[in-house]
Amino acid sequence: MQQSLDSNQKATVAPDSVKTSLLKNLLPGFDFEPVLSDFRIIFERDPAARNWLEVVFCYPGLHALCLHRLAHWLHCRGVAFFPRLISHIGRFFTGIEIHPGAEIGKGVFIDHGMGVVIGETAIVGDYTLIYQGVTLGGTGKESGKRHPTVGKNVVVGSGAKVLGNIQIGDRVRVGAGSVVLRDVPADSTVVGVPGRIISRKDNNHSPLEHNKLPDVEATVIRSLLSRIEQLEQKLKSYESISKSKVKSQKAKE
């Protein structure tokens, strides 16, 4: 009886070990842990992810990252043409363009993803959340490092542009539609065009809580309106004083 149980356990364990060994033999040196992290993080970040079947077949961000990791693996080994071809195929099917030279950490989630562009020398840290329309691009034709370095646990809102060889610190939140052209320290929030840095030490907010991003323009407008009201009150007081003086002069005459 015990022998039969042991044989059943070996039969169930063997296929997985065989599959793993086959993959490792086909792609020696390829790290599968980031791919698994990319898969798991979707269930943590996207409430619409209901089952693994939907995630595997219906999430273009995951498809783009899987293809990129293969293209990057080939790129690092000096293979010509095929990494760019894989990148182009990924762009055609997902709408996400990631250069094979870009370095992307584990647990990265590209939500929706249409229109995302990540340049050749860009570096994306672990557990970064990227929404649709984001560009991690360069600002000129200079060679060498010309794309941004994004830290860990960063959130880049939809339509944001992070341009140039700049450093984005850990746990930074980039508001939707922002254009970031300068370095951003850790635990900060960037909003506006060009991006304005607002220091934040409160990390209790969920990455999905975009409604809690500060509105710099609204704050400036409110301060201007308050200043205008104060000036109007002073003007009215001066007018009342001048009218009283005129009345007193007429009474004397």
CATH 3.40.50.10170 is right for the domain spanning 31-214: no
Per-residue pLDDT tens over the stretch 53-109: 999 999 999 999 999 999 999 999 999 899 999 999 999 999 999 999 999 999 999
At 207 the pLDDT is 60
Q: Nearest CA to 125 among 152, 103, 144?
A: 152
At 252 the pLDDT is 67
Strands 188-191 and 196-199: antiparallel
State the helix-helix crossing angle for 60-76 and 33-45, rounded to 10 degrees: 160
For the segment 109-129, the average pLDDT, to the nearest whole number, is 94
Name the DSSP letter for residue 75: H
* End-to-end Cα separation, the chain, in angstroms: 125
For the segment 97-125, the average pLDDT, to the nearest whole number, is 94
113: confidence class by pLDDT, cuts 50, 70, 90: confident
- CA distance readout (Å), 228 to 201, 221, 231, 235: 33, 10, 5, 10
* Integer Cα distance of 226 and 141 in angstroms: 46
223: confidence class by pLDDT, cuts 50, 70, 90: confident
Estimate the share of the chain in helix, then strand, then coil, as percent rounded to the nearest 5.
45, 15, 40
The whole-model pTM stands at 0.74
At 25 the pLDDT is 58
Per-residue pLDDT tens over the stretch 183-214: 999 988 898 888 888 866 655 556 656 666 66
At 196 the pLDDT is 87
Per-residue pLDDT tens over the stretch 150-164: 999 999 999 999 999
Per-residue pLDDT tens over the stretch 2-58: 444 344 444 433 444 554 555 555 566 667 788 888 999 999 888 888 899 999 999
Tokens representing 135 are 């560009």
